[in-house]
Amino acid sequence: MSLDFGPAVALSCRECGARYDLGPSFACLECFGPLEVAYSFGSVTREDIASGPANIWRYRSLLPVPVDVTSKQNMNPGWTKLVKADNLGKVLGLRDLHVKDDSGNPTHSFKDRVVAIAVEAARNFGFHTLSCSSTGNLAGAVTAAAARAGLEACVFIPADLEQAKIAMARVFGGKLVGIEGTYDEVNRFCSELIGDPLGDKWGFVNVNLRPYYAEGSKTLAYEIAEQLGWELPDQIIIPVASGSQLTKIDKGFKELISLGLVEDKPYKIFAAQAAGCSPVSTAFKAGHDVVQPVKPDTIAKSLAIGNPADGPYVLDIARRTGGAVEDVTDAEVVSAIKLLASTEGIFAETAGGVTVGVLKKLVETAQLDPSLTTVVLNTGDGLKTLDAIAEDASPTAVIRPSLDAFRAAV
């Protein structure tokens, strides 16, 4: 079988550096560390990138995908808006604030980016079924991408997910299986299924395709830098579930620097968690290198991963860049959702409430410099987590159809 992964040349262990041929593997045979994609990049210019399509494939020369990826059936996510958030910045006292709003992706979350890369890996390996364990957004992204690519889909979720996310995942077809348990239990089940004949020729995007899938998050780094005029932000606030997105944004920034596409300058990465599922934040504040698993209890279900695989790497990056890991309560999440909506017209899901809430907290505790260029991520659409603002799901007033009634109400 001939494989075409573009500039990707191998899988490399993040712990011991052992290298392996490109394949559907995710753990090092020497030390059991996580594998990631290693590259041999050719010459890449800003002009080459700018001449590409208005989606993630403009960066195809930096991703593990075929050269002809633009001709394939894919969801073509990316190139979402970077909103200059002057109104929110004024409220928080920030001079140059931007919101990277990934709710504009095909299934309204950043997960479309990572799944798009996983689809190409599944094609390369001859898989016929796309699968995943999901806290919600990924399930919808996988079933949609599978439908578009002509693949079967079978995804697994905790049974108590938000109804909007369940409905979205089902509408695209395929099988949606609810598991009685937490996301971590769902993920363990999927790992067992990979070794069973039932899972033969299945591509689990966040397990046996994880090294490729995770690379999709680098495109957030690429887009932010390009949309800032080929400059890195001074500070960025990223939500943390497994922690993979944050580690790949950091990897993307470093690749841009090494390729000479942006100036080499310091940047700080801040990680955001919900207080009801904050194992990385707890470890950071305690000065620990080990992340202790927790049982999630938060409205931010898309971040409810109690045993984050990339938690230790998040700690390393936050410390290396001079950033921090912070958390906010569910009440602060809801307040931040409303603040972003009322100042910038962006309706974020609960994960976006976490990042904006943490941004506010970082400013108030002087952990973040308000004079610098700051980017905060909104990774999904608030229509998926309406329960979080259920108390506002009624009119401010109900009146008879007359001007006198309106005057009295107003």
pLDDT at 1 over 80: no
Q: Give the tokens for residue 300.
A: 């931010």
Tell me the H-state helices in 198-310: 210-214, 218-227, 244-258, 279-286
**For residues 124-135, average pLDDT:** 95
> Residue 336 pLDDT more than 70?
yes
Q: Which residues contact 196 (CB under 8 A, 6 or more apart)?
A: none
What is the Cβ-side half-sphere exposure of residue 381, based on CA atoms within 13 angstroms?
Answer: 17
Distance CA 176, CA 107 (A): 16
> What average pLDDT does range 247-256 have in this prediction?
98
The two three-digit tokens of residue 105, written as one number: 């992706």
Q: What is the CA radius of gyration of the chain?
A: 21
pTM for the full model? 0.96
Note the pLDDT of residue 287. Answer: 98
Residue 88: the pLDDT is: 98
On the 0-12 / 13-18 / 19+ scale of CB atoms within 10 A, 287 is: exposed
At 28-61, the pLDDT tens digits run 999 999 999 999 999 999 999 999 999 999 999 9
Beta-strand pair 152-158/175-179: parallel
List the beta strands (DSSP E) in 167-306.
Answer: 175-179, 202-204, 235-239, 268-274
350-364 and 330-344 helices, crossing angle to 10°:
90
| Side chain identity at residue 238, one-letter code | I
At residue 74, the pLDDT reads: 96
Mean pLDDT of the chain: 96
19-20 and 8-13 strand pairing:
antiparallel
Which one, of 134, 53, 114, 365, lies nearest residue 245 by Cα?
A: 114
